């Protein structure tokens, strides 16, 4: 398993946080008693849940001990725990009013099959809201995949295959959640992030999608891989007046459970 670096992840905190704010704007909960953030990361966005619903008990869960440690330090008003969201979904127990997951489900294999269990943790009249990247066909991802398939990296990575994120189109989530009896709002947005600094696209991907690959490489190959990845990313995302433009597609889903519960 790879580990997460909160500081690297927060390099583009504003850009990563904007989808979370737009997701929350479509959640119609008025005075929820309990709100859970699945995959809370370093907790900077979980703090927005406290601002939105100050009377709620807010809990943040993340499988990364590094992220939870950072979250506990920066957002003491929230209860944070180290937990795998799959275990939490299947554990049963008290249901919640609002269940939020931001840029996390793409790391869960077959997460479409997990939706019934997640909804099972939501009270009648409650809300499930999540956002996942939808840019896995873009050069920011395909360049890394292609490079990892080349010698000498392919042989090294075959021994410790890195985790690869994936997601579905909005219509797939909409159909799945409607089939479970929810009222669903699903949409997508492509942001044009203007990045600055040295190799900014590498800085972005090395904090998220590329991190498992980089950590899976042996120490003697990683610097060479990073140098070539940076070179190819610079060619795909050239510096222009004003900065480097990174198009980023995001997929949003908000599901409202009826007052009578699921169908």
DSSP string spanning 162-222?
Answer: PP------HHHHHHHHHHTT-EEEEEEEEEEEEE-SSSHHHHHHHTTTTHHHHHHS-TTTH
Domain encompassing residue 70: 6-256
Residue 209, pLDDT score:
73
How would you write the pLDDT of the chain (263 residues) with one tens digit per residue? 444 344 444 444 577 788 998 999 999 999 999 999 999 988 989 998 999 999 999 999 999 999 899 999 988 889 999 999 999 999 988 999 999 999 999 999 999 999 999 999 999 999 999 999 999 999 999 999 999 999 999 999 987 777 788 999 999 999 999 999 999 999 999 999 999 999 999 998 987 778 889 989 999 999 999 999 999 999 999 999 999 999 999 999 999 999 887 75
Residue 93 lies in a domain: yes
Residue 6, pLDDT score:
44
Q: What tokens does 1 get? A: 């398993």
Residue 58 lies in a domain: yes
Residue 28 lies in a domain: yes
Residue 36 lies in a domain: yes
Residue 263 lies in a domain: no
Residue 157 lies in a domain: yes
Read off the DSSP letter of residue 159: H
Global pTM value: 0.90
Residue 1 lies in a domain: no
Place of tokens 């979980």: 46
Residue 15, pLDDT score:
73
Give the integer Cα–Cα distance in Å for 254 and 178.
Answer: 11
Q: What is the tally of structural domains in the chain?
A: 1
Between the two ends of the chain, the Cα-to-Cα distance in Å is: 38
Give the integer Cα–Cα distance in Å for 248 and 238.
Answer: 16
Residue 157 in contact with residue 222, Cβ under 8 Å? no
CATH number of the domain at 76, please: 3.40.50.150
Q: Which residues contact 183 (CB under 8 A, 6 or more apart)?
A: 255, 256, 258
Residue 4, pLDDT score:
39
Residue 7, pLDDT score:
47
């Amino acid at each position: 398993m790879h580990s997460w670096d909160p500081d690297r992840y927060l390099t583009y905190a504003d850009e990563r946080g904007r989808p979370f704010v737009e997701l929350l704007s479509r959640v119609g909960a008025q005075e929820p008693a309990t709100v859970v953030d699945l995959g809370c990361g370093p907790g900077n966005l979980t703090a927005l849940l406290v601002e939105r619903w100050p009377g709620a008990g807010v809990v943040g869960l993340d499988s990364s001990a590094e992220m939870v440690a950072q979250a506990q330090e920066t957002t003491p008003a929230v209860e944070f725990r180290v937990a795998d969201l799959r275990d939490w979904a299947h554990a049963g127990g008290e249901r919640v009013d609002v269940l939020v997951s931001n840029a996390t489900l793409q790391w869960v294999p077959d997460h479409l099959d997990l939706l019934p269990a997640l909804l099972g943790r939501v009270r009648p009249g409650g809300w499930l809201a999540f956002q996942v990247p939808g840019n896995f066909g873009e050069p920011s991802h395909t360049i890394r995949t292609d490079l990892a398939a080349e010698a000498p990296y392919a042989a090294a990575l075959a021994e410790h295959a890195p985790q690869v994120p994936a997601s579905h189109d909005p219509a797939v989530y909409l159909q799945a959640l409607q089939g479970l009896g929810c009222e669903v709002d699903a949409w997508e947005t492509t942001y044009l992030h203007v990045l600055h600094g040295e190799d900014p696209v590498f800085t972005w991907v090395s904090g998220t999608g590329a991190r498992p690959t980089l950590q899976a490489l042996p120490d003697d190959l990683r610097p060479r891989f990073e140098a070539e990845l940076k070179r190819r990313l610079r060619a795909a995302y050239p510096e222009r007046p004003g900065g480097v433009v990174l198009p980023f597609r995001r997929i949003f889903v908000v599901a409202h459970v009826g007052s009578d519960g699921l169908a």
